[in-house]
Structure 1
Amino acid sequence: MTKKLSFIFIFIFTLIIFSNGVVVYGSPVIPEVSAPNAVLIDYTTGKVLFDKNAHEITYPASTTKVMTAILVLENANLNDVITVTDDLYVDGSSMYLLKGESFTVKELLQTLLIRSANDVAEVFAVHISGSVEAFAELMNKRAKELGALNTHFTNPHGLPDENHVTTAYDLAVIAKHAMTFDLFREIVSTERLTLEPTEFTPETRYYRNTNRFLWGTGGGNQILHNGAYTNVKYDIIDGIKTGYTNDAGNCLITSASVDGQRLIAVVLGAQGLNVYADSRALIDYGYDNFQLVQLAEKDLLKTTTPIEAGVEENASLYIAESLDVVIPKNVDITSINEEIIIYENIKAPILSGDALGKVIYSIEDEVIGETSLVIKDAIDKKTLFKKILIPSKLLIGFIIIFILWQIFVISLRFKRKRARNIYGRRYSSYKFNKSIIKPLFYKKK
């Protein structure tokens, strides 16, 4: 009896796996995150892959400086030199700028993101908006434009303020935009920064990135991951920003890139090095369970369609926008179905860029994405006037042959006229040779 049950079990298991090529997909193991707020998104599509209280309002601490950096990149000239006009003291991490010191915008931006210098954040606020308060208004305006709808900033650095709040999801959205800047990506992946002495500060400034993912090895930099202790340093991670205050706890925005797929994780309110353990758990969960697939490429010629009453009989249809989707990693991409739909009653005139159809992609009965099919070149409407003025190729050929034949006849008669004039005979002027077209209109009886 036992052997019989074993055989039945093996048979059913084999049938499930191989019958008709269908694969049964298991649910991924959800990572354990100790922090109260966390989110994981795909950078390319913005799809949320993990959510733990991601829309709950909380404090951002120095992750705020990602928003500050965006405004610097969008509103300041990197080569401009900023001179400190007042003695500055801002609590927390600082560059300790002195009155009279001068640095380029780029140098200060590096210090803002690597050193997490609060005094630099205020220098930028005054440089761009004239005051911290006016800069905070600009921060809030830009945050809303980016889709961070539950965020409200009161300062450029993230020092404690009960009205200075955000969410894990909002920070992911802000970080996603920040990573579109080449210089931002370069800075946040930099392990160390060196600034030469100035007239007011004779010592060389050495700063190590506050993000231990870039350098944390050895004692004091160990985290528990998959049941074993390992270094915080993780080679696939290339940024982004840390933060800490007593009220906010440990905060971290993380970016990782593997084989062209970038993930962004946000962890807020963690305790100690758990911020790195939580962030790594999210990043690994993303790469272990999801894949980025390009379904359609922009400007790719997809198909053609007839055009009613157009000067062109057919129109070429192109992919309007590239379409990337994130799907479970154990889904076979060859199982993705593609359906091309052409709209009905397509009549000229048609403008360049008009959508004449769409492509829908699905797995079984679930739609996973779609993109429009557009025309690149406008097609005018065919009118009666154009029909008269635009003869067929056959008629054009006939006209050309007729003209050449008449030229030949004229030339021949001209030669005969000259010959007759030599003998004093009169020669009548050229007359249209009706015999050329007579066969076209009269039939032999």
Structure 2
Amino acid sequence: MRKLIKVIVGTLLPVLLLSTMGASSVQATIAGPSTHAQSAALIDVTSGRILYSKDGDKESRIASLTKIMTAIVAIEEGKLDAKVKVTPSSFAKEGSSLYLKLGEEMTLENMLYGLMLRSGNDAASAIAEHVGGSEEGFVLLMNKKAEQIGLTRSHFMNPHGLDAEGHYSTANDLARLTAYALHNPVFKRIVATENKSAPNPNESWEYSWHNKNKMLRLYEGADGVKTGYTKKAFRCLVSSATRDGQQLAAVTLNDGDDWNDHAKMLDFGFEHFPLIEIATQEQPVQNMELVTGRGFKYPLAKGEQEDITKTLVLLDKRTQDAVTENKQSTDPSFGLAGRIEMQLKGEPIGSIPVYYKGSYIPPEPPIADATIGGIGEVTNWVSAWKAVLSRLLSP
């Protein structure tokens, strides 16, 4: 059994490593639009490909763009219907506020709307204390999440973004964070909301929040994400938009003309880098009794499709026998034969599983589980492999 495990581990390890290698390492080479930003980035949300970057790795203050991380950590770690209490340390925070009263309680979901639509610093602190046990505990979760999704030039010191030494990120990291967060349906719904009402336990009137993000009203297809400003960070903005099934996210830091610059950046992405279908689910593999386990799309400039190469990587026979032994026909690992690796000009951009014809083909993952080009990439087949490995190594 030990020899079998060694064979399986040796074969599986390259597969599992695919979840951390990234399409985002391949950046577009077409000159992007001019902007007034100190740094900027544009990303395709589905693939994680950076389409445009201006000083994208420059570490900068990010103001309330911090709340993108606050929101996704709270959504993943908390319960939306749980009541969040306003404590003395979260009450009356400086800067933008929801003006929550001391001791007031509100569901986490409603508080997240206040956080993202009105940028409430009091909401940020209350959420952090509720989810993390303390603001410091929550900040640990923020930095852990940054590490998990590969943000190598980001560090968080608080959940609201008020200026603090050691609190920074980059345009490229914020683009990757936003792409990751937009694959979460709760986050996606909240940041696309223009107006939201919430119960007020202390008054006869309800809270009514109007989204500060003017892009939702200025740009066709806009559906997010967050504004930011401090006296040291200046104007910061992350926006997103969807057209013809493709979602892009733009980031600018220290930009005095951000609304117009974001429109130019998004226009540039949609015009020059449409999402191209490279493979479809259950597509036959040439000269093999195999079919693809899911489809694959990638944003490509004119002429780039000719530079796409595909490599078929098959599991060895002993590994295949091990993973199919005693499996039910509806197990995602049943019939798994290997994978097709996709490269653009020699750089990896993603992979898709392949199955033997006639075996069970799991359904395409929803957008929340789809490949994000190395940004916290999660796929059904990778998850299945991890489960198989866990079962084989268990006593």
TM range (shorter): 0.7 to 0.9
8 A contact 1:361–1:368 mirrored in 2:
yes
User: Is 1:188 matched with 2:173?
Assistant: no
Task: Name the structure 2 match of 1:318.
Answer: 291
8 A contact 2:85–2:130 mirrored in 1:
no
Which of 267, 283, 297 is 1:284 aligned to?
Answer: 267
CA separation of 1:34 and 1:207: change in aligned 2, threshold 3 A: same
User: Is 1:71 matched with 2:51?
Assistant: no
1:339-398 per-position Cα deviation (integer Å, ceiling 9, x unaligned): 776879x76784356646747677xx878867466344899xxxxxxxxxxxxxxxxxxx
Q: Give, in whole Å, the separation in 2 of the partners of 1:357 and 1:57.
A: 37
CA separation of 1:326 and 1:101: change in aligned 2, threshold 3 A: same
Q: Give, in whole Å, the separation in 2 of the partners of 1:347 and 1:137.
A: 44
Which of 104, 112, 115 is 1:112 aligned to?
Answer: 115
8 A contact 2:292–2:355 mirrored in 1:
no
1:116-142 per-position Cα deviation (integer Å, ceiling 9, x unaligned): 100011001110111111111110011
Task: Name the structure 1 match of 2:255.
Answer: 270
CA shift for structure 1 position 336 = 7.5
Which of 143, 148, 151 is 2:146 aligned to?
Answer: 143
Q: Give, in whole Å, the separation in 1 of the partners of 2:313 and 2:272.
A: 35
Q: Give, in whole Å, the separation in 1 of the partners of 2:299 and 2:260.
A: 24
User: Is 1:169 matched with 2:149?
Assistant: no
8 A contact 1:361–1:370 mirrored in 2:
yes
CA shift for structure 1 position 76 = 1.1
Task: Name the structure 2 match of 1:214.
Answer: 216
Counterpart mapping for 1:41-440 below 5 A = 41-86=43-88, 88-199=91-202, 201-215=203-217, 233-271=218-256, 274-303=257-286, 305=288, 316-328=289-301, 330-331=302-303, 350-351=320-321, 352=324, 355=337, 358=340, 371=351, 374-376=354-356
CA shift for structure 1 position 187 = 1.4
Q: Give, in whole Å, the separation in 2 of the partners of 1:97 and 1:187.
A: 19
Normalized against structure 1, the TM-score is what? 0.65
CA shift for structure 1 position 174 = 1.0
Q: Give, in whole Å, the separation in 2 of the partners of 1:372 and 1:212.
A: 38
Larger CA Rg, structure 1 vs 2: 1
Q: Give, in whole Å, the separation in 2 of the partners of 1:181 and 1:367.
A: 27
8 A contact 1:299–1:321 mirrored in 2:
yes
Q: Secondary structure at the match of 1:302?
A: coil
8 A contact 1:155–1:164 mirrored in 2:
yes
Which runs of 5 or more structure 2 residues have no equivalent in the other structure? 1-28, 325-332, 360-395
CA separation of 1:292 and 1:204: change in aligned 2, threshold 3 A: same
1:268-322 per-position Cα deviation (integer Å, ceiling 9, x unaligned): 0112xx01111111111111111111211344332454xxxxxxxxxx3122553
8 A contact 1:321–1:371 mirrored in 2:
no
Q: Give, in whole Å, the separation in 1 of the partners of 2:350 and 2:276.
A: 13
8 A contact 1:320–1:371 mirrored in 2:
no
8 A contact 1:61–1:157 mirrored in 2:
yes
What letter corresponds to residue 126 of structure 1 in structure 2?
Answer: E
- The worse-fitting range, judged by mean Cα deviation, of 100-109 and 57-66 is 100-109
Normalized against structure 2, the TM-score is what? 0.72
CA shift for structure 1 position 99 = 2.2
CA separation of 1:211 and 1:356: change in aligned 2, threshold 3 A: closer
8 A contact 1:355–1:372 mirrored in 2:
no
Between the two proteins, the alignment pairs up a number of residues equal to: 318
Q: Give, in whole Å, the separation in 2 of the partners of 1:356 and 1:62.
A: 43
Q: Give, in whole Å, the separation in 2 of the partners of 1:337 and 1:147.
A: 25
8 A contact 2:341–2:348 mirrored in 1:
no
Task: Name the structure 1 match of 2:371.
Answer: none
Q: Give, in whole Å, the separation in 2 of the partners of 1:186 and 1:117.
A: 18
The percent of aligned pairs where both chains have the same amino acid is 32
CA separation of 1:181 and 1:349: change in aligned 2, threshold 3 A: closer
Task: Name the structure 1 match of 2:36.
Answer: 34
- The worse-fitting range, judged by mean Cα deviation, of 130-139 and 289-298 is 289-298
Which runs of 5 or more structure 1 residues have no equivalent in the other structure? 1-26, 216-232, 306-315, 380-445
CA separation of 1:157 and 1:300: change in aligned 2, threshold 3 A: same
What letter corresponds to residue 204 of structure 1 in structure 2?
Answer: E
CA shift for structure 1 position 211 = 0.4
Q: Secondary structure at the match of 1:238?
A: strand
What letter corresponds to residue 104 of structure 2 in structure 1?
Answer: E
CA separation of 1:361 and 1:115: change in aligned 2, threshold 3 A: closer
Q: Give, in whole Å, the separation in 1 of the partners of 2:212 and 2:173.
A: 22
CA separation of 1:178 and 1:282: change in aligned 2, threshold 3 A: same
What letter corresponds to residue 99 of structure 2 in structure 1?
Answer: Y
Q: Give, in whole Å, the separation in 2 of the partners of 1:326 and 1:69.
A: 27
Higher relative contact order (CA 8 A, sep 6+): 2
Q: Secondary structure at the match of 2:299?
A: strand
